[in-house]
Amino acid sequence: MSLKLRRVIFKLVGDGRPYPEHGLSNREWAQIPPRQVRLDTLITTKAVLDLHSLLAKDSTFYGDLFPHVVQWRGELYLEDGLHRALRSALHQRPVLHARVLELPAD
């Protein structure tokens, strides 16, 4: 009997940033307006998750409310906000609002 996974949370689980360094500060990220992004189009840049951070009530208190995504070579990389993205998935939401930085392909 074969089982097929019907739903996935992310497109891929990566470990590291394959795109070039962008050097944006938190202030510069804040200038990018958030837009909706489907979770299943994202590639993570972290393969490890801290459950304490995921389950903390104030996990977004000190940071940006919106995850940071880098679009490079046609792919969307979740640079910051893995905990927020997983929290959205746990609430059965297939999209989240994120700030998306578009980098040139080279």
Tens of pLDDT, residues 12-47: 999 899 999 999 998 999 999 999 999 999 999 988
pLDDT tens, 43-89? 999 888 777 766 666 555 556 689 999 999 999 999 999 888 988 98
pLDDT of the residue at 59: 55
∠ CA 53-72-81, rounded to 5°: 10
Model confidence, pTM:
0.84
Write the CB contacts of 88 (distance below 8 Å, at least 6 apart in sequence). 39, 95, 96
How far, in Å, CA of 89 to CA of 81, rounded? 12
